[in-house]
């Protein structure tokens, strides 16, 4: 993904978030770039939206922030009940 101060460019597959310059109710929606039209207009598929691809200008998009790390639940132990951290009765046998 490339970023310029005045005009941002995004590659296909880039994660983006819609900024306050966008029309309508798209502000703060996150999505993925599916296609590039005329070099500065992008076809975006929004997360958790059933509507078809929406086309927005580059000035309406910002790179989506990335998570610093993935939080995973603690591993299951054979001594705990599945889905809990409670000790199983059988763990003491």
Residue 73 lies in a domain: no
Residue 24 lies in a domain: yes
CATH code: domain of residue 20: 2.30.30
Of 73, 53, 49, 56, the C-alpha closest to 20 is 56
Around Cβ 16, how many Cβ atoms within 10 Å?
23
How many domains, the chain?
Answer: 1
pTM of the model: 0.62
Segments of the chain with pLDDT less than 70: 1-7, 67-93
How far, in Å, CA of 63 to CA of 42, rounded? 13
Residue 19 lies in a domain: yes
**pLDDT for 45-67, tens place per residue?**
999 888 789 999 999 999 998 86
Residue 10 lies in a domain: no
Residues 21, 23, 28: CA angle, nearest 5 degrees = 65
Domain that holds residue 37: 15-63
Residue 78 lies in a domain: no
Residue 9 lies in a domain: no
Residue 87 lies in a domain: no
How far, in Å, CA of 22 to CA of 19, rounded? 6
């Amino acid at each position: 993904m490339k970023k310029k101060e005045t005009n941002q460019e995004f590659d296909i597959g880039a994660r983006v978030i819609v900024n306050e310059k966008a029309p309508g109710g798209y502000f703060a929606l996150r999505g993925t770039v599916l296609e590039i039209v005329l070099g500065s207009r992008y076809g975006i598929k929004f997360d958790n939206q059933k509507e078809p691809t929406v086309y927005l200008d580059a000035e309406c998009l910002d790179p989506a922030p990335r998570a610093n790390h993935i939080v995973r639940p603690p591993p299951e132990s054979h001594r705990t009940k599945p889905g809990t951290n409670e000790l199983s009765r059988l763990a003491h046998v």
